[in-house]
Amino acid sequence: MSLASTTDDAFEDDVLNAGKPVLVDYWAEWCPPCKAMLPALEEINREFDGKLTVIKLNIDEHPVTGTKYGVRGIPTMMLFKDGQVAATMIGARPKGKVVAWINAALNLVS
């Protein structure tokens, strides 16, 4: 299962106006840690189905949004809830740490 992607132009509709929380994965094709995170993010997207959506944003192809939200290193993940950044995680992490971070930030019970 591949993750949905967004663009600078579609970010408002895909993320800020989404009806549920969105985890945005800022990444680039040349970033090995970003690629290493992909399987875990795909699993998280499946496990949180209905509670959370995971969307990727390639910062090389769509630099405006990353700059707007202060992304200075990748991978960076931001949780958006109700159109606002609820939490930010910088760097590759094991799936368990990402899930714990999501649950804490969104007050969810997995």
pLDDT for res 2: 79
pLDDT on residue 107: 84
For residue 19, CA distances in Å to 49, 96, 104 come to 13, 25, 20
Single pTM value for the model: 0.94
State pLDDT tens for residues 24-79. 999 999 999 999 999 999 999 999 998 999 999 999 999 999 999 999 999 999 99
Catalytic center residues? 31, 34
Distances (CA, A) of 106 to 13, 52, 99, 101: 20, 10, 11, 8
Class for the domain spanning 4-106: alpha beta
Establish how many alpha carbons lie within 13 A of residue 102's alpha carbon, considering only the half-sphere containing its beta carbon: 25
pLDDT at residue 110 is higher than 50: no
pLDDT at 10 over 60: yes
